[in-house]
Structure 1
Amino acid sequence: MEQRDRAKRLGCDSTGGITRAAVINDSPGNDNVIEDNVIKNNVIKDKVIKDKVWGEAHLDDFHRDMLFLLHDVARLLRVEADKRARQHGMTRAQWAILIWLERQPGISQKELSELLEVEPITVARLIDRLQARGMVERRPDPRDRRIWRLHLLSPARDVLHEIDGHRADMTRIVTNGIDEATLETMTEALLRMKATLTQDSHAKRGLDADTREEV
């Protein structure tokens, strides 16, 4: 034990060989190496900090991006509506159909599919389920027997009353902490955006139709 302690003090191993630590400590340029390592470590630390700060700022800009916010808020509302609809054994799409039929009674399946932006076959299946639950019925168009008009039945009224309650609750949650003036400004801005996009979409459809006629 005494021999090993003495060897360590001399920078040797137990057999008398010079240890790696002794060589490093005795190297003439050791101070320069240590200084270079310290500088490199500081440079790396500074870069990590700068990257972190830039990343946080960039992420904050992303979260404040208007298109991202519009999409994400709509997504969160859809998720919440899906959850609430499932509690009643229904789907958000079925809720949407009932709401549209309340607003526009007697519309056709084709018109409804355009409003919901889904394929007519998808709407037909959803109507089948609602009809099986006694909420909706198909009536033939008196002027064109090939067209089915959709109408609500009494059981749908109770469901619509529940939907109104959920919509009011979701509106209360999503607007919590926002004053009336801001809500009014937001609503006007959204109406303006919708009108602009709708007008642009109709203009493109007309242009496409003209192009097909020329071909």
Structure 2
Amino acid sequence: MIIHDSQRGTGFLLTDSARLLRKLIDRRLQPLGLSRAQWSILAILSNQEGLSQSQISSKLEIEKSTAGRLIDQVEKSGWIERRPIVGDRRVWGIYLTNQARQLLAQVETVILHSRTEMLNGLSAEQQQSLSEMLQTVKSNLSTALEFDQRPIPAVAETAPYDGNHAN
């Protein structure tokens, strides 16, 4: 095993907590007929309607074809509709239907209840501190990702690391 249980720290706890929260919310939204991917689209559109399929795929960080199939499913459920975008006949904007707006009120209740359970036992100050710390972690990871996307300069070939040299 690469990482022993005794060495699992903050990263493991963040990942595992996020997984458990997603699982809890998924379970609670299932009776509403929503999968995680479907409610993710509705959540995005609740903040910004009229996005194109391409914009939604970018926000969800999934392939355009995958987003297209997902949008088709959500449209068949009657929760969204496509409308032409003025000035561009090739692109359609995606909008919530009234049925989706009613559904989103139920989704919001589930999410807020789950969030309350997640933060149970933390004072308001601790919750604020946790949010600030997680925002810093998120910012650090975003910066690291941006840095990693830069071209890597060619490095002179060196001898392989044998574990015997000090840094």
Work out which of the residue numbers 38, 42, 48 in structure 2 matches 1:98: 42
Which amino acid in the other structure matches residue 167 of structure 1? I
- TM-score using structure 2 length: 0.82
**2:51–2:93: 8 Å Cα contact kept in structure 1?**
yes
Gaps spanning 5+ residues in structure 2: where? Answer: 154-167
Q: Residue 33 of structure 1 aligns with which residue?
A: none
Deviation string 1:103-153 (CA, Å, 9 cap, x unpaired) is 011111111111111121221112112211221011222232222211111
Matched, 1:130 2:77: no
1:1-215 mapped onto 2 (5 Å cutoff)? 59-62=5-8, 65-205=9-149, 207-208=150-151
Task: Name segments (4+ residues, structure 1) moved above 3 Å.
Answer: 58-61, 202-205
**Greater RCO structure (CA 8 Å; 6+ sep):** 2
- The answer to which structure has the higher helix fraction is 1
Q: CA deviation at 1:195?
A: 2.0
SS in 2 for 1:138: strand
Moved more, 176-185 or 134-143: 134-143
- TM-score using structure 1 length: 0.64
- Pick closer, same or farther for the CA change 1:145–1:196 going to 2, 3 Å: farther
**2:29–2:110: 8 Å Cα contact kept in structure 1?**
no
**2:80–2:94: 8 Å Cα contact kept in structure 1?**
yes
- The answer to which structure has the higher strand fraction is 2
Larger radius of gyration: 1
Aligned residues: 150
